[in-house]
Structure 1
Amino acid sequence: MSPPKALVLTAPRTLVFEEGAFAPLAPDEVRIRTLFSGISAGTELTQYRGTNPFMHRRFDEAQRLFVDAEVPSWDWPVRNLGYEESGEIIEVGSGVTDLKVGQRLFGTWNHKTHHVASADYARERLLPEGADPRIGIFSHIGAVALNGVHDAQIRIGDTIAVFGLGVPGQIVAQAARASGARVIAIDPDAGRREIALRQGAHLAIEPAGAAEEIKRLTGGRGADACIEVSGAPPALGEAIRAAAYNARVVAMGFFQGAIPGLKLGEEFHHNRIQLICSQISGVSPDASYRWSKPRLWRAAIELQHDGTLDLIPLITHRAPFEDAPTLFEQLDAGAPGMLQAMLEFGA
């Protein structure tokens, strides 16, 4: 068996492969061979480009503040690229009796050929029997999307506007439809709008004039909730304009730096808009006594397996693990038609 390899970021837009060695397993550990690994076009690209705030400042956990520091939270080289993996168990420790070689699971262990995890970790992340292992790469981004839908507090019959139809936006649109909402999907890319329509959105429109069109479609009321998933300041501004009086705008996008041109003295102020941040490090406090990150991860898998969510069609670009740098370059450049990029690790 070839030595394990991991993808490491040594400088902005500079990827190398780091070779390791197989260490003996502890009695309560399992060894996993990676099958597929998804590349995130959000958080992961901010690492790749070197723009992520954790790479320039330190996040003080006690105060929950970003502070200036000589050593940022994430220093070079970056070894935590990748958080959407699926794999199979190829070895179990001597004390593990309820897991077996060949069982498949999902999780977060970065872009690398092999991973050692505790048996407890593996038990909590087993894929359903017979499931397509590719659904595993949507466990985390699916949880991000479900968290945003929960934060929107959707009621059956609501009109929900989803701004941004990348991978998380596409999942949000599907999940909002499954929650009983009428979904209006907004994106400048015609191909992404077409995918959203095929996957269940009721209507897909361009961003220009979106607020006026949504007001017209709702008899002047506006959307019951707007979910912004692009991280583009103009999209957040238009989401605020499109929301009904006292309605909720959920900001899921990862905005980089300051946001020039955001007009908080117009619709935001006069329509009493509720602006909510949705971020996967936590769930809404209202639901925290029954929902957690592990439950969101599991739900993202089970909703795919039972057909409620259909996410495999979002995989548009694939490459062998050895070609990972090229796939990152394509994602960074905004290759036409690209949604979910996936690394394949072979037999």
Structure 2
Amino acid sequence: MKALTWQGRRSLSVEEVPDPVIQEPTDAVIRVTSSAVCGSDLHLYEVLGPYMHKGDVLGHEPIGIVEELGTGITNLHKGDRVVIPFNISCGHCYMCSKGLQSQCEVTQVRKQGTGAAIFGYSELYGSVPGGQAQYLRVPHADYGPIKVGQELPDERYLFLSDILPTAWQAVQYADVPDGGTLAVLGLGPVGQFATRIGRHLGFRVIGVDPVTERRTMAGRHGVQTLDYAQDIGDRLRDLTDGRGPDAVVDAVGMEAHGAPLEAFAQTAAGLLPDKLARKAIETVGVDRMSALHAALEAVRRGGTVSLSGVYGGRISPMPLMTMFDKQVQLRMGQCNVKRWIDELLPLVEDASDPLGVTDLVTDTVGLDEAPAMYEKFQKKEGGCIKVVLRPWQPTVN
């Protein structure tokens, strides 16, 4: 089959790789019909390269059709259409029973000290082949896959794999009071959905991003927007009676703009041999912290900062005195996808499209175009906000 593979820092290629096969009774194999490129994929393209191996298959946002089933699968049939959550969870361990599927005790990558295994996301999360490919082996398919209807297009369901529940969790963790104000830093795909979810739940929402096209997209959904600048905290306070927003979602993460020293450290770490680079990442703060620090500075006293952006620096500096003095609540974590599906699936299937899932994709291409699209997405060129790959089709636009 054809698959998008990691070849080195900022180097990807589409290669012929072996077709996946059933390995366990609870496995399934799906034919991938669409697979999205996630903002966190860019971390593998750049910062987290030392944890990648040449030939690793990328991708963790797929939808497809069941082709093969292990003997232990009774809840699926060949031909079913399924969305695959990015985290691999068993559904019956202690953590899964608590709605913490991203911490599944069966698939935890204990060698790395990390949570549940993730499709296509490096040695840190199990080196499981990903879904930017024509076929995908799905472990624990007796629990993970989300069976969906056949009538609606892929894009109505695709984002249930990651970014829609990630945004939903971020807003739930933000703990916005009734009638309160939510600020969202970063209007990439997760930030776009976080603003729309906030609006859907009845909050005042302010979205912040330096990219004009992203602000324009958010504005189409009734979101008040601001350009990002050093005085963003003052500007948000000016809009909220001098207090600051009740809650802030940081949807940016470790590769934020406006942190040149940290950016240099990330680049330097990436140029080291893999063992030394991993040591640097695991023992030295290499995150660009400008977005998180801005969120902590802007949120009102007694407010909440919710992190959906990925961070990886082991000792990244935090303004603990300010956080303590302001009595800030900080919540974070990988999304527990299955926990939120019962709430999200009816919204996705609603004919009125209340979360605007049909207004996110800016680029739809065949798999062969994926390497170029990663570069375009990273550089935020040409209004690129969300990329969808069609593994079985040539470029669509």
2:149 is aligned with 1:152: no
CA distance in structure 1 between the aligned counterparts of 2:296 and 2:139, rounded to whole angstroms: 45
Q: Deviations over 1:67-124 (max 9, x none)?
A: xxxxxxx451362521100111245567867644432111144211012446844784
Identify, as 1 or 2, the structure richer in strand.
1
Q: % of aligned pairs identical? A: 26
Show the counterpart of 1:165. Answer: 187
> Secondary structure of the equivalent of 1:315?
coil
What code does the residue aligned with 2:45 have? Y
CA distance in structure 2 between the aligned counterparts of 1:138 and 1:221, rounded to whole angstroms: 34
Q: Is the 8 A contact 2:186 2:208 kept in 1?
A: yes
Instruction: Choose the corresponding residue for 2:242, options 220, 223, 227.
Output: 220
Q: Is the 8 A contact 1:252 1:277 kept in 2?
A: no
2:34 is aligned with 1:36: yes
Show the counterpart of 1:82. Answer: 59
Q: State the 1:333 CA deviation.
A: 2.8
What code does the residue aligned with 1:343 have? L
Show the counterpart of 1:136. Answer: 157
Show the counterpart of 1:102. Answer: 79
Q: Is the 8 A contact 1:246 1:272 kept in 2?
A: yes
Please provide the CA RMSD for this pair.
Answer: 3.0
2:7 is aligned with 1:10: yes
Instruction: Choose the corresponding residue for 1:322, options 368, 372, 377.
Output: 368
Give ranges in structure 2 of 5+ residues lacking alignment.
87-129, 257-288
**Structure 2 vs 1, CA of residues 118 and 278 (structure 1 numbering), >3 Å: closer, same or farther?**
closer
**Structure 2 vs 1, CA of residues 36 and 246 (structure 1 numbering), >3 Å: closer, same or farther?**
same
CA distance in structure 2 between the aligned counterparts of 1:102 and 1:214, rounded to whole angstroms: 50
Instruction: Choose the corresponding residue for 1:238, options 294, 297, 302.
Output: 294
CA distance in structure 1 between the aligned counterparts of 2:185 and 2:138, rounded to whole angstroms: 37
> Secondary structure of the equivalent of 2:383?
coil
CA distance in structure 2 between the aligned counterparts of 1:97 and 1:223, rounded to whole angstroms: 48
**Structure 2 vs 1, CA of residues 256 and 26 (structure 1 numbering), >3 Å: closer, same or farther?**
closer
CA distance in structure 2 between the aligned counterparts of 1:31 and 1:255, rounded to whole angstroms: 31
Q: Is the 8 A contact 1:25 1:92 kept in 2?
A: no
CA distance in structure 1 between the aligned counterparts of 2:68 and 2:326, rounded to whole angstroms: 58
Q: Which moved more, 1:103-112 or 1:123-132?
A: 123-132
What code does the residue aligned with 2:246 have? D
Q: Is the 8 A contact 2:181 2:203 kept in 1?
A: yes
Q: Is the 8 A contact 1:86 1:134 kept in 2?
A: no
Q: Is the 8 A contact 1:135 1:301 kept in 2?
A: no
**Structure 2 vs 1, CA of residues 97 and 207 (structure 1 numbering), >3 Å: closer, same or farther?**
closer
CA distance in structure 1 between the aligned counterparts of 2:390 and 2:60, rounded to whole angstroms: 15
| Count of residue pairs brought into register by the alignment | 309
Q: State the 1:173 CA deviation.
A: 0.7
CA distance in structure 1 between the aligned counterparts of 2:299 and 2:22, rounded to whole angstroms: 56
| TM-score scaled by length of structure 2 | 0.69
2:327 is aligned with 1:272: yes
CA distance in structure 2 between the aligned counterparts of 1:117 and 1:218, rounded to whole angstroms: 46
Give ranges in structure 1 of 5+ residues lacking alignment.
57-73, 282-291
Deviating beyond 6 angstroms after TM superposition, the runs of 4 or more aligned structure 1 residues are 24-28, 93-98
What code does the residue aligned with 1:86 have? I
What code does the residue aligned with 1:136 have? Y
| TM-score scaled by length of structure 1 | 0.78
Q: Is the 8 A contact 1:8 1:15 kept in 2?
A: yes
What code does the residue aligned with 1:106 have? V
**Structure 2 vs 1, CA of residues 219 and 96 (structure 1 numbering), >3 Å: closer, same or farther?**
closer
Show the counterpart of 2:112. Answer: none
Q: State the 1:141 CA deviation.
A: 1.6
